[in-house]
Structure 1
Amino acid sequence: MSQQRPIIIRRKKVIHKHHGGAWKIALADFMTALMALFLVLWIVGTASNEQRESIAEYFRTPLSAAITGDGASSEKVIPGGGPDPIHAEGERARIDLKRQTRPSEERRRLRRLQQRIETAIQGDSSLRELRQQLLIDETREGLRIQLVDSERRPMFELGSDRVAPYMRDLLHTLAPLLNELDNRISISGHTDSLPYVNGQRGYGNWELSSNRANASRRELVSGGLDPDKLLRVSGMGDQLPLPDAPPDDPMNRRITLLVLDTEASNRIQRQGELWQLAERAPLPETD
C-alpha cells in the first residue's frame, strides 16, 4: 500500500478594511449649510423692512474696511455699509469709460445736425463756395459752427456790422436746421488784432465783435430761428484767435454759433442765476 501525501488547502484570509469617513464629513457639511440657508431665509422672512436694510448694508461692507475700521459708520441695528472702494469704484470707472467711448444720444443728434448742415451747403450752388469758410467741429460744450472771414470773401463790410449778402443767405439756411433740435444756442463775435485809430478809447474791436454777433442773431431770427433758443450773445474782441493763426489773420474775424449740449446750457443758466443773486445781495455796511 503506497503512502499518500496529505492534501493542503490554503485559504486566503480576507480582511474587510474600513472605507473611510470622508463622505460623512462632506454630507455633514452639506446638511449644516442647508440648515443655515433655511435659517437665514426664515429670519429674513420674519424681519421688518428696516432690519432687512440693515442686513443688506452689513453685507455691502467691504472686508478690508471692516477689518481696518475705515468703513462708513451706520446708526442702524447692524453696523456697516458704505460703497466698496475696490468693486464699486472699478465698476464706476468702467461705466465712465463706456460713456467716453460711446457717444450719447444727444451727441448723435448733434452729429446728425452737422451732416444735415454740410448736405444743405453742398446742395446749394450759391453757398457751395463758402464751404471752405465754414468750420464745424465738436467741443466739450456741443457742436461748434464757425463762419470765418477771408480777404477775398469777407462776411461783413470792413469795420462794419453790415452783413454781406452771401453771409445772410448762409445764416438763413442754417436757421431752420438749428430749429430741428431743442438745444440752446450761443453766438459770439470775434475780430482780428488790428486796432482802430482811437484804440481802446472809442469804438473798437469789442464793440465791433458785439455788434456783429447781434447782427448775426437778427439774421438768424429773420431766417426763422426760434428766438427762445438763444441763450447767449457776446462779443469777444480779438481775445480768442484761432489756433495756429496769427492775431492779425483775417480768419480771426468770425462768428461762432455753438449748439450747446444740455450740460453746458445748464451751466450757463446757473451762472446767470448766481450773477442775479450777487446783484440783489445788499452791500455790506461800512462804518
Structure 2
Amino acid sequence: MENLGQHNIIIRRIKKNRHEDHGGAWKVAMADFALAMMALFIVLWLTNSSNEAEREAIAGYFQDPQAYEDGQRIPSPYVIDLGGTPTTADNTAVSETLDPEKILQAEEIESLAEAIERKRLEQLKAEIEAKIEASPTLSPFKNQMTIDITTEGLRIQIVDQTKRPMFNAGSATLKYYSEDILYELAPMLMTVENKLSITGHTDADAYYENNPEDDVNWELSARRANSARRALMEAGIEKSQIAQILGMGDTAPLDINNPESDINRRIAIVLLNRKSQAGIESRTGGSGPKFINDSESENKDARKPVINTSGSLIEELKEDRERLDNSYDTPPNEEESFW
C-alpha cells in the first residue's frame, strides 16, 4: 500500500547504569575526616596554649580518668603507691609524714619496720622499769636488775651480788627471793607476743682439776637457765613462748676486766625481736631429710657410691692395708719408736 504521507516515529531509550561510587557513602567519610581534623586542631591548640604541668595532667586524665578530680590527681591513700586508679574509701587518712607519691624500696620497708619495732621495745622497757619501781617485791632488787635493748631484743638481766646470790655456789636451785623476782616478772612478759630466750652465765672460776673439758660451768649455766625457765612457766608463761635455753658458761662476762667478779653470774631473759626470732625458727629441719629409696637408687642417672670404686680413696686405703709391709700390722723398729 502506498504511504499516504505518514512517517514512522522511532523512540530510542538509553538506559544508563548507576555506578556505586556515586552514592552517599562519601558524605560519611567526609564527616569523619572533618571531625578528626577538628579534634586534631583542638589538641594542637591545647598543646600550644598550656604549660608542662597542664599537659601532664591532660595526658594523665586520658590514661586514667578516674584518677583525676577537678583537674587534679587524687592522692593515693596508701603508703606504697602501685599506680592505677585509687580505691575510694571512707575515712581514709593520708600520711602527713610520708610522701604518697614515693614508692618505698624493700630496704626502706625493712628499715622502717625495724624502727617501729625498736620504738615499741623502748616503750615496753619504760613500762617494765616503772612496774619494777612500783612493785614491793621487785623494788628492793632493782640494783641487781639491768634492762637494755640489744641487737636481739629487750634484755632483762638478773645478776648476783656478793651477799645476795641467785644460787648457792655450784647449785642450780634458785634462792627464794630469786624465784620471787621471776614470779613477779612473768605477768609482764606474758603481755607481749615476743618469744623468750633465757641464758645462764657463770664467772670465770675454773671448776676442774686437770682437764679443761671437765669444766662444769657449761653444764651449771645451762641448768641455771633451765631453772629460770621452770620458774617462769610455773608463774604462767606458756611453753610456746620459750624460744631457747642457753648455757654460756664464762664466755660472755658482764665485767670484761674482772671475769671472776660476782656480777658475771647472772640470768639473762631476752624478749626477742622479729629478726632474732626468725633466725631461731630457721634452725628447724622443715619436712625432714630426704633419703634415696631403692627405686631411685636404680636410676641410671643417680649418683653411684664410690666406696668400692677402683681408684677411690677407700680402695687405696684397702690396698695399703692388705700389703704385707703395711704400717698397721708391722710395728716400728727401735729407731722409729716414739713411745
Query: Deviations along 1:55-111, whole A, 9 cap, x unmatched?
Result: xxxxxxxxxxxxxxxxxxxxxxxxxxxxxxxxx89x7699579849x941x333323
The structure showing larger relative contact order (alpha-carbon pairs under 8 Å, at least 6 residues apart) is 1
Q: Taking structure 1 as reference, are residues 107 and 97 closer, same or farther at Cα in structure 2, changes over 3 Å only?
A: closer
Q: 2:137·2:181 contact (CA, 8 Å) conserved in 1?
A: no
Matched, 1:135 2:146: yes
Equivalence for 1:239:
251
Q: In 2, distance between residues paired with 1:155 and 1:32?
A: 77
Equivalence for 2:119:
108
Cα offset, 1:282, TM superposition: 5.4
Q: 1:110·1:142 contact (CA, 8 Å) conserved in 2?
A: yes
Q: In 1, distance between residues paired with 2:202 and 2:51?
A: 81
Bigger fraction of residues in helix: 1
> Which letter does structure 1 place at the counterpart of 2:140?
E
Cα offset, 1:224, TM superposition: 1.4
Matched, 1:30 2:39: no
Q: Taking structure 1 as reference, are residues 195 and 96 closer, same or farther at Cα in structure 2, changes over 3 Å only?
A: same
Cα offset, 1:27, TM superposition: 9.7
Matched, 1:161 2:178: no
- Of structures 1 and 2, the larger Rg is shown by 2
Matched, 1:209 2:228: no
Q: 2:255·2:264 contact (CA, 8 Å) conserved in 1?
A: no
Q: 2:230 aligns with which of 195, 218, 230?
A: 218
Q: In 1, distance between residues paired with 2:61 and 2:119?
A: 51
1:51-200 map, 5 Å: 99=112, 103-104=115-116, 106-198=117-209, 199-200=211-212
Cα offset, 1:153, TM superposition: 0.8
TM-score, normalised with respect to structure 1: 0.63
Gaps of 5+ in 2: 1-44, 65-101, 293-302, 308-339
Query: Deviations along 1:254-283, whole A, 9 cap, x unmatched?
Result: 11100011222112111x12xx26983659
SS at match of 2:240: helix
Q: In 2, distance between residues paired with 1:195 and 1:260?
A: 31
Equivalence for 1:267:
279
Query: Deviations along 1:193-249, whole A, 9 cap, x unmatched?
Result: 111134544461100010000000000111111221001111111111125442111
Query: Deviations along 1:17-67, whole A, 9 cap, x unmatched?
Result: xxxxxxxxx998437989x8799579847xxxxxxxxxxxxxxxxxxxxxx
Gaps of 5+ in 1: 1-25, 46-87
Q: 1:145·1:257 contact (CA, 8 Å) conserved in 2?
A: yes
SS at match of 1:158: coil
Q: In 2, distance between residues paired with 1:40 and 1:27?
A: 11
Equivalence for 1:66:
none
CA RMSD of superposed structures (Å): 4.0
Q: Taking structure 1 as reference, are residues 207 and 43 closer, same or farther at Cα in structure 2, changes over 3 Å only?
A: same
Q: In 2, distance between residues paired with 1:227 and 1:238?
A: 27
TM-score, normalised with respect to structure 2: 0.54
> Which letter does structure 1 place at the counterpart of 2:189?
L
Q: In 1, distance between residues paired with 2:110 and 2:289?
A: 42
SS at match of 1:247: coil
Matched, 1:280 2:286: no
Q: Taking structure 1 as reference, are residues 176 and 238 closer, same or farther at Cα in structure 2, changes over 3 Å only?
A: same
Equivalence for 2:23:
none
Count of aligned pairs between the two proteins: 216
> Which letter does structure 2 place at the counterpart of 1:164?
K
Q: In 1, distance between residues paired with 2:231 and 2:242?
A: 13
Residue identity (%): 32
> Which letter does structure 2 place at the counterpart of 1:189?
G
Q: In 2, distance between residues paired with 1:38 and 1:182?
A: 48
Q: Taking structure 1 as reference, are residues 282 and 245 closer, same or farther at Cα in structure 2, changes over 3 Å only?
A: farther
Q: In 2, distance between residues paired with 1:260 and 1:129?
A: 27
Q: In 1, distance between residues paired with 2:183 and 2:125?
A: 16
Q: In 2, distance between residues paired with 1:124 and 1:27?
A: 75
SS at match of 2:138: helix
SS at match of 1:155: coil
